[in-house]
Amino acid sequence: MKTIYRYIVLAIFIVSSHACKKELGALPKNAKVDANTILDQGTAQIALNGAYYRFANATVVKTGWQNHQIIPPMLAGYMGMYSSVLPEEENRNDRVSSSCWAESYILLNAVNGVISGVKALPDEKFTGNRKKEIIAEAHFLRAYAHFKLLTFYGEWYKPESSAGALLRDELSTLSNIPKKRSSVNESYDFILTDLDDVIANAPATNPNHYVTKWAGMALKMRVLMSRGTSTDYGTLITLANSLIQDSPYKLEAIVEDVFHKNGLSSKEVILGIKPQANQEKETYSTSAQYWPGASSLYVARTALKTTYDNDPRQSWIIGSVRPRPAYYFFTKYMKENGVSSPLSETYYALRLTEVYLLKAEAIVRSGGSLADAKIMVHQVQEKAGITLTANSTHYNAVENANTAQTLLVEIYKETVKSLIAEDGMEWMALLRLPFETVKQFKPTITSQVQYILPIPKDEFLYNPIFGDQNPGYSKN
């Protein structure tokens, strides 16, 4: 998709049009960008629903989050395409899809339309705290998009780097498309400011396919773990404690039930993506890409299967081997020989399991008690049927990790097993390990250049003041 088209023509999808019913059920009816469209609380809510529509990457027939599921584990070496080897699998990043770039900026344009339109209205147009809540929900979506851009296209692991995100905080027009990218530190500061407003002002309760203050806390934990300054880990642990002790979310008693039984009704889903009506009937549905294979068949590779050896999750996440050796059906969402359903079309952006594992990692990285960190991991393992007395191989691997570095590796392995193919946490957790360890897990990564993707080349054509291409890549 051309950048000029992305920033201008797709601006007509901004959520300030009269559009997008409560359950993301229709495309905007009025494609005109009009500063006067958000007139009151009702039209502001319609606009916000439209921003959620872009967050879900939705069309009339389906939500489009599958790239969130498959691209990160491909980069990390755990999944692939059955019919051919994709560049993501070999970390040939100059050929990797730029879908995250396009998707994020479409969302940002929509969200900035909401924020500017709602802020322009007098407070008396809203009941109670709803004005602040709408802005806070929009700030979450903006923080989410900017964090995706930072972690896929910026040197997020180098706070001092000038190669941060191209921050968009206003509706794109012909006059403001030219803009310089921000530094990594500036990007983190901007994202965290948005998330602080989410935590302060977003609703405490909402259907879990909409944002709450708890979702803001969970996303802030991700951001802080990536930045990883000396004070970030303590803040992260405090946020985790609040989510674990004070929020309405609880770990699912049997983790398989999240994906094969309860879906968004699970008590541990903090934020999910609700499918469009009847999208499971689409020929090219997400479910069909896992079984039997519609236009593509996305599969588990041997590296993922062996990760689950002696782990009860293998029986419901890894299916039968394909005729092509080293490839297996991936059955976390769609059971082999199963029938596509709204459940198999549901996506998960944030779950409480991630909170436990991030807390464990933060404890270790901050020099805290290894025993305390192990408790967090064991609580997650228990829900997968792994205890000291049952399926104890993986339990003992954690228990016997008696240095910070060995325990961080075990936390990474549990992150893969718990969060594979959800929203990229297996990839980010890998890259937080020492570089020599990263290379051991994924030998096709030979340089930190491969931690991020190149900026799409069209950006330099339409935004000449953007700045330099990412290190190791060419503008041409």
**DSSP code string of 257-309:** HIIIIIGGGSTTEEEEEPPPTTGGGSTT-HHHHHTT-SS--EEEEHHHHHHTT
CB-based contact 303:277 (threshold 8 Å): no
**At residue 234, what is the residue type?**
G
451 touches 431 (CB < 8 A): yes
Residue-wise pLDDT for 81-128, tens only, equals 999 999 999 999 999 989 999 999 999 999 999 999 999 999 999 999
pLDDT bracket for residue 175 (50, 70, 90): confident
> Residue 5: its pLDDT value, please?
34
Q: Omega into 292 within 30° of 0, i.e. cis?
A: yes
| Contact predicate 271/209, CB 8 Å | yes
What is the rounded CA–CA span in Å between residue 289 and residue 51? Answer: 26
* Topology of the domain comprising 1-68+96-202: 1.25.40
Q: 44: helix, coil or strand?
A: helix
pLDDT of residue 197: 98
Q: In the predicted model, is pLDDT for residue 18 greater than 70? A: no
Residue with tokens 């549901």: 346
Mean residue pLDDT of the chain comes to 92
Give the helix, strand, coil percentages of the chain, each rounded to 5: 50, 5, 45
Taking alpha carbons only, the member of 118, 146, 147 closest to residue 133 is 118
Q: Is the confidence at residue 178, as pLDDT, over 90? A: yes
Question: What residue type is 28 in one-letter code?
Answer: P
C-alpha 215/C-alpha 314 separation (Å) is 29
Q: What is the pLDDT confidence band of residue 36, given thresholds at 50, 70 and 90?
A: low
311-349 per-position pLDDT tens digit? 999 999 999 999 988 999 999 999 999 999 999 999 999
Q: Could you give the CA distance from residue 144 to residue 149 in angstroms, rounded to a whole number?
A: 9
Q: Tokens in use for 444?
A: 């096709």
Residue 305 Cα to chain centre, angstroms: 23
Give the contacts of 206 (CB within 8 A, at least 6 positions apart). Answer: 212
Q: What is the mean pLDDT of residues 58-74?
A: 95
> So what's the pLDDT on residue 244?
98
The tokens for 232 are: 């970030």
Residues 105, 168 contacting (CB under 8 angstroms): yes
| Residues 324 and 82: beta-carbon distance below 8 Å | yes
Strand-pairing partners, residue 403, are: none
Residues 193 and 189: their CA atoms lie apart, in Å, by: 6
- Portions of the chain given CATH number 1.25.40.390: 1-68+96-202
The structure's pTM equals 0.93
Condensed to tens digits (0 to 9), the pLDDT of residues 182-193 reads: 999 999 999 999
- Element at 143 (helix H, strand E): helix 130-153
Question: Whole-angstrom Cα distance, residue 413 to residue 307?
Answer: 8
Tell me the HSE value of 471 on the side-chain side, using a 13 A CA sphere. 13
Alpha-carbon distance 209 to 348, whole Å? 9
Task: Take residue 234 and report the two structure tokens written for it.
Answer: 């303590």
- Using the Cα atoms of residue 434, residue 302, residue 360 and residue 206 in order, give the sign of their dihedral: positive
| CA-CA-CA-CA dihedral for 466, 472, 475, 476, to nearest 10 | 180
pLDDT of residue 173: 80
User: Residues near 250 by Cβ (< 8 Å), separated by ≥ 6?
Assistant: 267, 268, 352
- Cα 340 to Cα 278, 336, 436: the distances in Å are 10, 10, 41
Residues 409-420: what's their mean pLDDT?
98
Q: Are 256 and 313 in contact (CB under 8 A)?
A: yes
pLDDT in tens, 455-465: 999 999 999 99
